[in-house]
Amino acid sequence: MIELVNVKKVFNAGRPSEYSALNGISLNIEENKVTVLTGPSGSGKTTLLSIIGCMSRPTAGRVKMRGREITSLPERFLTDVRRKSFGFIFQQHNLINGITALENVMLPAYPLGERRSALKERATRYLGQLNLQDKASSQIEWLSGGEAQRVGIVRALINNPATIIADEPTAHLDTKLSHRFMEIVENFKAEGRTVLITSHDPLVYKSSTVDRVIKLRDGQIEE
Amino acid sequence: MSSITRRRCLQVLMTTALAGLGAFLPARRGFAEPAGVPVLKKSDRCPVCGMFVYKYPKWVAQIVFKDGSSYFYDGAKDMFKHYFDVAKYTPGKAASDITHMYVTDYYEVELIEAKTAYYVLGSNILGPMGHELLPFKDQESAQEFLEDHRGKSIIRFPEVRLPLVMSLDRRT
Amino acid sequence: MLLLHPGVIANLLASLIIAVMMLYSAFYGVQILRHWDIESGSELQLVLERKTYLVSTVLSYVFALQLLSLFMYVFTADNLHPLFVGAMCAAGTLNLNAFGYPTLLLKMFNFILAGVWLILNHADNQGYDYPLIKKKYALLAVVAPLILIEALLEFAYFLGLRADVITSCCGSLFSSEQGDGLGSDLAALPPGPMIWFFYGTVFVTLASGLYYYLRGKGGYFYSFASMVFFLTSIVSIISFISLYIYELPTHHCPFCIVMSEYDYIGYLLYIALFIAAVAGVGIATLIPLRGIESLREVIPGLTRKLTMTSLVLFFGFASVVTYRIAASNLIM
């Protein structure tokens, strides 16, 4: 379970452009469930997601993962937790141009020092599970939007993380692909993973796969 | 050219070259030394204070022992310190084993006999070890130096005593 | 103009940088000591967590510079000796005014403290919950004023150098007969018994270190032994080791061995000795911390590395010294 205790995030503190993105968020995200954060743009969804995913630190408050406090961790430990516990799926797929799909998928696993042949085998297998085996050696620039999104999903899974974080995953997908995405999310749940999604796409937050919807407005949870 | 004449030519060339080089070598020494006296090496250190003597060619003093061994000093003062207590700095040797003593004339910058030198005391010229006995080969040059550099007195070898030498170690 | 000598400028600049960074870090250190509370999620706590990352990094470099500055100081003093009448090595240069030797002694002490801080900092970084943060900054609070005093002494020394002073040469500073300073007292120690004591210390230290490395017991004893080795070695250098290196039966100076004519062997010996001493003290600092949860798995590995480092350096020191004594032309 991921526990947030009074999390605040302020940007540009002390300057005229000071902006409070999160104003004291306290919530518990249950394990092995699909949780969706929804709300208008500027409500703090992405900020909250990046704090939970160990990509940034709050200005105040704490985040605990399975009882272990993660916001105070020194840098080297934080990156270790992030690498092993979270898989990220971005709105813009954020794959690296100039290298193949397979290489993109293997990237997050390099720091863990696994033997390359074993890693390659696993990455190819995961790509096969999403019907991307023919595209493994393709350059990213040649993939369609949906294919790139799926490569991004495989990349998120390569280190077998317990939690998947997805930020507006269906923003650039048509209806058919969006439904496909929600099926993949259902699979995640079946595999025992926790899923956290931000979206203002009704197709996502009204889906039957979703267990809980949290509404954010102006950096706070709306009851 | 036949091989015999070529060989002869090379031999002559080599000998001339070596002779020419040989002529240059002595000129690299900084000051004149009496012939037959052992020569200062870069590794020679003053047995009294440990200084590397080659750094101070104008102040070199030397004692030669009857077994051929030679010691160099960074000034007459340290030479006298050794002379007054030979066994302390060179165990197994005594003053009676000394055959020659040399100091460097301050003006001419060449080694002269220590026993016949004239030493100026109290001048404003300092050696590497501070106050020194400045050696000169004759009375006239010693007197001239004394007047130029506010020396206090001129003494000869038999007048040099250990307390006098030690008194030169003052820091003012 | 003595101040334009590059060595002097380097030393003073380093001293200034270190002193300023000490003040900056000590300021945050005090904040941390007063307000640190890992359990709290307050804004101040999170700011301190960010700050300590920066401050620790800065201090690591600053303390590394401090370690270097000891040898830079000796090197500069040695380099300056031709400018001063009566000086033939660093010993003479340091004797030019009343601040030379006190600066050196304080630098030696601060070397050990800086090294211990670096070890403590390294251990702290291995733990996920900043386990040693308060100890680290408490040590900083002790070290900072000492380093500031050292900087003042160093400035007083270099700025007070005058070329018209005749300084004592090391022959008289470390003479076993004349003179009544510490240098003469150490030089006057009888070489025979001293050799026995030195090698006895070598044997006990290496043996206890090996035992600790293999069995994991006796860490405190080894740490104590390594300090004894350190002090004994310095005294031994003055007492008899120097005689063999110089091949002069009366020259006890511990500074002439850093000169180029002796192949800079002094730096080799002293660097080995000082680093080994730091490692030895570091062991005693880390052993009491092995109970801390986040460091439980880390401390044994660290103490082993420190033990091996110090053993290798001590052994190297003893070997080089023994070789120089055996190969020396001096027969005592």
CB atoms B51 and C168 under 8 Å: no
Of A85, A104, A103, A102, the residue nearest A94 (C-alpha): A104
Residue A70 forms part of a structural domain: yes
- A159, A109 Cβ separation under 8 angstroms: yes
From C42's Cα to the closest Cα of chain A, the distance in A is 5
CB atoms C41 and A75 under 8 Å: no
Pairing, β A86-89 against β A163-167: parallel
Residue A140 forms part of a structural domain: no
Domain count, chain A: 1
Let me know if chains A and C touch, i.e. at least 3 Cβ pairs under 8 angstroms.
yes
- Confidence (pLDDT) at B21: 55
First to last CA, chain C: 44
> Closest partner residue to B171 among C167, C246, C249, by Cβ?
C167
From C82's Cα to the closest Cα of chain B, the distance in A is 9
- C230, C277 Cβ separation under 8 angstroms: yes
Residue A162 structural domain: 2-96+150-222
Q: What is the pLDDT of residues C13-63, one digit of tens each?
A: 999 999 999 999 999 899 999 999 988 888 899 999 989 999 999 999 999
Q: What number is the average pLDDT over the span B9-36? A: 63
With CA atoms as reference, the chain C residue closest to A56 would be C50
Give the span between the Cα atoms of C278 and C220, in whole angstroms.
14
Q: How confident is the model at residue C149 (pLDDT cuts 50, 70, 90)?
A: very high
Average pLDDT in chain A: 90
What DSSP state is assigned to residue A2?
E
Q: Which residue has the tokens 């405190």?
A: C220
* Chain C residues with CB-CB distance to A59 below 8 A: 43, 46
Number of H helices, E strands in chain A: 7, 10
Is the pLDDT at B27 greater than 70? The verdict is no
From B49's Cα to the closest Cα of chain C, the distance in A is 5
Percentage of residues in chain A having pLDDT higher than 70: 100
Q: What is the pLDDT of residues C253-276, one digit of tens each?
A: 999 999 988 999 999 999 999 999
- Confidence (pLDDT) at C73: 97
A97-117: burial string, b at 16+ Cβ within 10 Å, e else: eeebbbbbbbebbeeeeeeee
Q: What is the pLDDT of residues C298-323, one digit of tens each?
A: 999 999 999 999 999 999 999 999 99
Neighbours of B145 (CB within 10 A): 19
Of A124, A182, A110, the residue nearest A149 (C-alpha): A182
Give the span between the Cα atoms of B168 and B82, in whole angstroms.
15
From C41's Cα to the closest Cα of chain A, the distance in A is 4
What DSSP state is assigned to residue C251?
-
Q: How confident is the model at residue B28 (pLDDT cuts 50, 70, 90)?
A: very low
Whether C248 has its CB under 8 Å from any CB of chain B: the answer is yes
- Confidence (pLDDT) at A174: 86
Tell me the two tokens of residue A137.
């050696």
- Confidence (pLDDT) at B26: 47
* Chain B residues with CB-CB distance to C165 below 8 A: 171
- Confidence (pLDDT) at B3: 63
Question: What residue ranges do the domains of chain B occupy?
Answer: 41-167
The length of chain C in residues reads 332
* Chain B residues with CB-CB distance to C166 below 8 A: 126, 130-131, 170-172
Q: How confident is the model at residue B19 (pLDDT cuts 50, 70, 90)?
A: low
With CA atoms as reference, the chain C residue closest to B82 would be C250
Torsion of CA C167, C250, B36, B75, to 10 degrees: 20
With CA atoms as reference, the chain C residue closest to A63 would be C41
Q: What is the pLDDT of residues B48-61, one digit of tens each?
A: 988 899 989 999 99
- Confidence (pLDDT) at B36: 67
CB atoms A73 and C128 under 8 Å: yes
From A23's Cα to the closest Cα of chain C, the distance in A is 13
Q: What is the pLDDT of residues C162-219, one digit of tens each?
A: 888 888 888 888 887 766 778 888 888 888 899 999 999 999 999 999 999 999 899 9
- Confidence (pLDDT) at B18: 66
Q: What is the pLDDT of residues A88-131, one digit of tens each?
A: 998 888 999 999 999 999 999 999 889 999 999 999 999 998 88
Contacting C residues, span 165-194, partner chain B, CB-CB under 8 Å: 165-172
- B109, B58 Cβ separation under 8 angstroms: yes
Q: How confident is the model at residue A17 (pLDDT cuts 50, 70, 90)?
A: confident
> Can you say whether the dihedral through the CA atoms of C288, C293, C299, C301 is positive or negative?
positive
Is the pLDDT at A41 greater than 90? The verdict is no
Let me know if chains A and B touch, i.e. at least 3 Cβ pairs under 8 angstroms.
no
> Picking from C1-5, C149-153, C262-266, C319-323, which range would have the lowest pLDDT averaged per residue?
C1-5
From B140's Cα to the closest Cα of chain C, the distance in A is 28
List the subunits that have 3+ CB pairs under 8 angstroms with B. C
- B73, B53 Cβ separation under 8 angstroms: yes
- Confidence (pLDDT) at C112: 97
With CA atoms as reference, the chain C residue closest to B71 would be C248
**Chain pair B-C, CB pairs under 8 angstroms:** 58
**Chain pair A-C, CB pairs under 8 angstroms:** 34
* Chain C residues with CB-CB distance to A61 below 8 A: 41
- Confidence (pLDDT) at A130: 87
Q: What is the pLDDT of residues C114-141, one digit of tens each?
A: 999 999 999 999 998 899 999 999 999 9
Whether A60 has its CB under 8 Å from any CB of chain C: the answer is yes
- Confidence (pLDDT) at A91: 84
Is the pLDDT at B29 greater than 60? The verdict is no
How many angstroms separate the Cα of A7 from the Cα of each of A36, B21, C31, C200? 18, 87, 23, 63
> Closest partner residue to A60 among C42, C53, C128, by Cβ?
C42
Residue A209 forms part of a structural domain: yes
Is the pLDDT at B37 greater than 80? The verdict is no
List the subunits that have 3+ CB pairs under 8 angstroms with A. C
Q: Which residue has the tokens 């150098």?
A: C161
Q: What number is the average pLDDT over the span B63-90? A: 92
- C168, B165 Cβ separation under 8 angstroms: no
CB atoms C128 and A77 under 8 Å: yes
Whether C330 has its CB under 8 Å from any CB of chain B: the answer is no
Percentage of residues in chain C having pLDDT higher than 90: 78
From C308's Cα to the closest Cα of chain A, the distance in A is 27
The CATH number of whichever domain residue A71 belongs to comes to 3.40.50.300
From C78's Cα to the closest Cα of chain B, the distance in A is 13
Is the pLDDT at B139 greater than 90? The verdict is yes
With CA atoms as reference, the chain A residue closest to C42 would be A60
Tell me the two tokens of residue A175.
């209806």
Q: What number is the average pLDDT over the span B128-148? A: 93
φ, ψ of residue B34 in degrees (nearest 5):
-65, 145
* Chain C residues with CB-CB distance to A62 below 8 A: 41
